[in-house]
Structure 1
Amino acid sequence: MFDRDLHYQFEDFVTDTRQARADEDLFRLLKKAVAQQGYDRISLWVIDDPDLPQRVHGRGVLHNFPEELRGYYKENNCDSYDPVMQALRMQTGSLDWEAHEAHSNYRPLQTRLYNVAREGGLNHGVSTPIWGRNGLMASLGLAASEKHDATHADLDMIGALTAQFYLSYKRLNARPASPCTPPAGITPKEAEILSWVAAGKTDAEIATILGISRNTVDTHMRHVFAKLETHSRVTAVVKAIAEGIIHP
């Protein structure tokens, strides 16, 4: 499912983040992982996560975005018209800023916002939503301080890194009274199907391997999404690996 030729493999990122003992260590590991995707700017925004205390809610709770850009965003009330954040609330996968701008009709104020971002050193931006049982919990923004020709982000890998990073962030910062607990109720058949998903198999291929219908595979995956509180195959696999449900 993931490119194993990368110098810092995803499996190593999972192991390292599970062992991290401080936010700074976790952030350092994420910087190392996303650098391989061409990014060196990161900003975590905790929007509404009931498992986390209010002290860690807000834009840029962990970040290395330029302070002048953060100041511009706050001073101009950009929350109210940021087109990427508006779009992020209606999808489950990562969103490429430039692709979204190219296919949208931005208002002048919105175009100005992203021109300022680019001029300030945020290029090839990607934002990834993090969904929970109550809706959008957080988002992770990535950007490159330098412009690169023909940059093509691996959005599946970014989604996987984001999911694992946020699981570990919650482990470090969850409220004492309501710690993050491993998801329960995954059946052996669901775990088997998840293992094949992690191996990169399609629903049709899994159906053939297990001798069941494609609709049955789809039904099992819907149950998995509900039990793991995820909205995509990538995030489900990441969470299953992190919680020890599967061992790809």
Structure 2
Amino acid sequence: MDLFGFIECAKRTQSIKALFDLLVNCASEEGFSEVAYGALTCAEPPRLPEYLPPAVTVNFPPDWCHRYFERNYHVMDPVVRRTPMTSGPFLWDELAKQFQLQSGEQRVLDEAREAGLKHAMSVPLFGPFGQVSVVSFASPADDADPQYRISHLYILAWHFHLAFAEIARPSESGCNRKVPLSDREKDCLRWAAEGKSSWAIGMILKISENTVNFHFKNAMRKLDTTSRTQAIVKAVRLNLIEFSASPGLPTEC
């Protein structure tokens, strides 16, 4: 299933399990079949009963999950500890280069690799009131390249995160809320979704780069988001802009 198919199917599902299965299916297409989603702040979303904090839902190898929770590895897990300090997606292999990891932190990474999580990355998910969650993707394959897939998995993680919130807290999700984006704000979001920079969008719309950034700032404020990527994802979920898909891509759920 491609990203467009995931977005369309996620809009229609009302089951957390079905939504997570969609996430695993789509990530597996990218070569990363091991997935975990968790909240790192006390304001965490409702948790599936079979999982302990900080995991909300996970399909990592069962033996690794058992060892992880039995030994309270979440206390020393560098992914859990360092995610709030990281603004964007990161590779687990790069953590030791970014931070001076303690011996316990390095042990968790080493044991995770031995358990089959050979190449992995995580996506920090920041809410408007300081909430922090994370989606982690891992591959059991020796030749997997998370750096090559990082952009796709980043967008996928944010779509899942927002869809999860709508299912877990339907009364607070705002999925039916009308957000008064201006036409210019929508135009800027659409072109950004196509990968255009502020400068390029300004050339296309015949406005200055500063004006483009002004529209982005307003759109992010109205959508209660903290980055352009989050704003684009939320605008798509609210049907304020359309996600461009190539002809012939499957959308069956």
Q: Offset at 1:183?
A: 6.2
How many residues are matched?
240
Counterpart check, 1:108 vs 2:103: yes
Residue identity in the other structure for 1:47: L
Distance 2:97 2:122 in 1: 16
Distance 1:103 1:139 in 2: 18
Distance 2:21 2:173 in 1: 24
Residue identity in the other structure for 1:136: Q
1:214 — aligned with what?
Answer: 209
State whether residues 23 and 169 of structure 1, in contact with CA within 8 Å, keep that contact through their aligned partners in structure 2. Answer: yes
1:119 — aligned with what?
Answer: 114
Secondary structure of 2:87's match? Answer: coil
Secondary structure of 1:126's match? Answer: strand
**Counterpart among 23, 26, 32 of residue 25 in structure 2:** 32
Distance 2:146 2:169 in 1: 36
* TM-score between both structures, scaled by the size of structure 1: 0.86
Distance 2:98 2:164 in 1: 33
Q: Offset at 1:118?
A: 0.6
Residue deviations 1:74-104, cap 9 Å, x none?
3443333322233310233211111222443
TM-aligned CA distance change 1:85 to 1:33, over 3 Å: same
TM-aligned CA distance change 1:206 to 1:95, over 3 Å: same
**Counterpart among 32, 45, 48 of residue 38 in structure 2:** 45
Q: Offset at 1:149?
A: 5.7
Q: Where does the alignment leave 5 or more consecutive residues of structure 1 unmatched?
A: 1-7
**Counterpart among 19, 34, 42 of residue 12 in structure 2:** 19
State whether residues 228 and 239 of structure 1, in contact with CA within 8 Å, keep that contact through their aligned partners in structure 2. Answer: yes
1:5 — aligned with what?
Answer: none
Counterpart check, 1:180 vs 2:174: yes
1:162 — aligned with what?
Answer: 157
Distance 2:180 2:42 in 1: 23
**Counterpart among 60, 63, 67 of residue 68 in structure 1:** 63
* TM-score between both structures, scaled by the size of structure 2: 0.84
TM-aligned CA distance change 1:59 to 1:153, over 3 Å: farther
TM-aligned CA distance change 1:106 to 1:137, over 3 Å: closer
State whether residues 92 and 231 of structure 1, in contact with CA within 8 Å, keep that contact through their aligned partners in structure 2. Answer: no
TM-aligned CA distance change 1:159 to 1:238, over 3 Å: same
1:3 — aligned with what?
Answer: none
TM-aligned CA distance change 1:196 to 1:102, over 3 Å: same
Residue deviations 1:111-161, cap 9 Å, x none?
111111111111211111111111133211111123226553422211110
Residue identity in the other structure for 2:31: G
Distance 2:155 2:144 in 1: 24
State whether residues 123 and 147 of structure 1, in contact with CA within 8 Å, keep that contact through their aligned partners in structure 2. Answer: yes
TM-aligned CA distance change 1:229 to 1:87, over 3 Å: farther
1:4 — aligned with what?
Answer: none
Distance 2:115 2:210 in 1: 49
State whether residues 160 and 234 of structure 1, in contact with CA within 8 Å, keep that contact through their aligned partners in structure 2. Answer: yes
Distance 1:129 1:37 in 2: 19
1:147 — aligned with what?
Answer: 142
